[in-house]
Amino acid sequence: MTGVGFLGAGAILRQGNEVHGLTTAASIWVVAAIGMAVGFGFYVPAVFTTLLILAMLVLLRPVEMLLFHRYKKIQEAVEVKIAPP
């Protein structure tokens, strides 16, 4: 799990005030956990978790885009107001 944590940390990138790759890092960790469940023979919980995570990633994507779009609009409005003349 420590190695998987390092892989996930490597997926997270920071550019200024923006952070990218959090979903990817979380997905790497969950896939490792699902792989461990399969390795231990817990097939039903692994399939259930796989379906749950896939549904969350697909269904929450539009919500993420909506919130990101609103945040960008607010950020641009604030930058325009405080920009020096």
Q: What is the pTM of this model?
A: 0.69
| pLDDT of amino acid 6 | 67
Query: Token pair of 26, please?
Result: 């979380």
What's the rounded Cα separation, in Å, for the pair 73 and 85? Answer: 21
Dihedral sign, CA of 55, 57, 63, 66?
negative
pLDDT confidence of residue 33 = 93
Q: What is the pLDDT of residue 84?
A: 61
Number of other CB atoms surrounding residue 8 within 10 Å: 19
Averaged pLDDT, groups of 10, the chain, 85 residues long: 70 74 86 95 97 93 83 72 61
Kind and range of the H or E element at 18?
strand 18-20
Q: How far apart are CA 64 and CA 5, in angstroms?
A: 24
